[in-house]
Amino acid sequence: MISREPTLERLAVARQVLLEPFGLDEAKLANALRVIGEHRIDDADLYFQYTRSEGWSLEEGIVKSGSFGIDQGVGVRAVAGEKTAFAYSDDISEAALLDAARTVRTIAASGTSRSVKVGGAPKIAGSRVLYAPMDPIATLDSTQKVALLERVEKLARARDPRVVQVMAGLAGEYDVVLVARADGTVAADVRPLVRLSLTVIAEQNGRREMGSGGGGGRFGLGYFRDDVIAGYVDQAVNAALTNLESRPAPAGEMTVVLGPGWPGILLHEAIGHGLEGDFNRKGSSAFSGKIGKRVAAKGVTVLDDGTLPDRRGSLNVDDEGNPSQRNVLIEDGILKGYIQDSMNARLMKVKPTGNGRRESYAHVPMPRMTNTYMLGGDKSRDEIVASMKKGLYATNFGGGQVDITSGKFVFSASEAFWVENGRIQYPVKGATIIGNGPDALTRVKMIGNDLQLDTGVGTCGKEGQSVPVGVGQPTLRIDGLTVGGTA
């Protein structure tokens, strides 16, 4: 059997799914782009997408719900200066495509943008090979999917008699995209995505507490082997049992140690969003105008990396057809650059970083994170905890929010411990961590050697759009954060 180069293989799949059934080909896409280019524009693209998704949920040993959906369509965009005109249709046809093209070409006012050459020699965009172009939904049949969820529940209940309720969910998505750009570039991707989630409720002496676990990535459902499931179950049950013993959290300004892995969500929210190109171009980020300046303590290196194999936030190409990249944002405390899509990169006179992302064909792209994490240091976790006189050791987080302009953030710790004289004393509940992202970076005192990425559960929201992302960090000690508690 002769196989094609992976980039060509993905392009062939995209043509078969998104063009050929509707009587479309690259020549007709080029014609639609020429229609847009009849007025002065800086850029234009067509974004075709086919998504098949499936979800199952189990509670009390019963499959409570199942869902299956197919969505497909095309988004048509023209960009002139800072202005974007956008139209989309769930009707993939030449007529709908041309109608959308005529709609968006009205964006350009004379003299406000340059005349970009539309068409040119067709060329296939470069891309990466980070995950298999599979349909993950087809990797297990319905009976096997239900059996998988039942196995999760059985393991969780067997883990401890105090577990009184188990809720498990399984989701899969098969996503095919094709991007045609004004300059003749064509890019395609075939994106699998799966996630297994678990929530348990434990009860003791009339008190109930909750814990959660799970993970996933860009692979098939066969990834969820018994050892992987057991890890998720341990994570969820341990969190619930720990919280059964928790006491009210102390409040005040104190040293905070963040555990590795998912606590990187604080890094994502409090710092990552502030490094997105649109906020910095507009001057609304706390990091605006600080390229080349120290913004963090020595040893702090932060990356956004869309090139990690099989990770939830990774992409072979972004949603504008640019290959994903490993972008060093902060290096040893010095700000090196921002996360860019094509439009903001052009306006800031830098290159795109492979971070143009959109929720679907019905949304415009914008600069978004992929997998954002901090590199490790040279201290052990035990050494960092032992260095604390008094403070909070937070190992897991729930929700949070950040103000991009000021950098201020508030996060709730879903699993945390009170530490005195270098020893963990007891678990606490109700702790919220309050601070300022740029300021917190300068307060990093110790960096662990235990970098971990999250298990594959993150979804990031921005301006009403949600995209899958990854986060990670080593154990970190940050001095002088404010903890809001219940004690």
Q: What is the pLDDT of residue 246?
A: 96
Give the other-Cβ count within 10 Å of 484's Cβ: 15
Q: What is the pLDDT of residue 102?
A: 92
> Is 117 a residue whose pLDDT tops 60?
no
State the SS3 of 180-224: EECCCEEEEEEEEEEEEEEEEEEEECCEEEEEEEEEEECCCHHHC
Give the other-Cβ count within 10 Å of 386's Cβ: 13
283 within 8 A of 441, measured Cβ to Cβ: no
Mean per-residue pLDDT, 178-206: 96
Length of the chain: 487
* Exposed / middle / buried, residue 151 (Cβ in 10 Å: 0-12, 13-18, 19+): middle
Q: Read off the tokens for 54.
A: 């499936």
Q: What is the pLDDT of residue 74?
A: 97
> Is 197 a residue whose pLDDT tops 90?
yes
Mean per-residue pLDDT, 227-252: 96
Report residue 108's pLDDT band, with 50, 70 and 90 as the boundaries.
low
Angle at alpha carbon of residue 257, lines to 383 and 440, rounded to 5°: 125
30 within 8 A of 180, measured Cβ to Cβ: yes
> Is 403 a residue whose pLDDT tops 90?
no
27-41, 191-205, 220-234: least confident range: 27-41
Query: What does each C-alpha distance from 287 to 292, 363, 435 come to in angstroms?
Result: 11, 27, 16
Helices (H) and strands (E) in the chain, counts: 10, 25
Mean per-residue pLDDT, 427-453: 95
4 or 407, which is more confident:
407
Using the 8-state DSSP alphabet, how is residue 33 labeled? Answer: H
Q: What is the pLDDT of residue 482?
A: 94
Mean per-residue pLDDT, 130-158: 96
Query: What does each C-alpha distance from 472 to 45, 272, 454 come to in angstroms?
Result: 33, 12, 6
* Exposed / middle / buried, residue 24 (Cβ in 10 Å: 0-12, 13-18, 19+): buried
Q: What is the pLDDT of residue 415?
A: 95
Write down the pTM of the prediction: 0.94
Coil, strand or helix at 416: strand
Give the whole-number percent of the chain exceeding pLDDT 90: 86
Report residue 313's pLDDT band, with 50, 70 and 90 as the boundaries.
very high
Give the whole-number percent of the chain exceeding pLDDT 70: 96
Place of tokens 């508030």: 410
Rg for the chain, CA atoms, rounded = 24
Report residue 115's pLDDT band, with 50, 70 and 90 as the boundaries.
very low
Whole-number mean pLDDT of the chain?
Answer: 93
Q: What is the pLDDT of residue 5?
A: 85
Q: What is the pLDDT of residue 119?
A: 53
- Residue 102 is inside which H or E element, if any? helix 94-104
Using the 8-state DSSP alphabet, how is residue 263 labeled? Answer: T
Coil, strand or helix at 167: strand
Q: What is the pLDDT of residue 65?
A: 84
Mean per-residue pLDDT, 26-47: 93
Q: Read off the tokens for 289.
A: 């105008």
Mean per-residue pLDDT, 311-319: 98
Mean per-residue pLDDT, 287-309: 97
Report residue 386's pLDDT band, with 50, 70 and 90 as the boundaries.
very high
Mean per-residue pLDDT, 169-189: 97
Report residue 118's pLDDT band, with 50, 70 and 90 as the boundaries.
low
- Mind listing the pLDDT tens digit for each residue in 333-367? 999 999 999 999 999 999 999 999 999 999 999 99
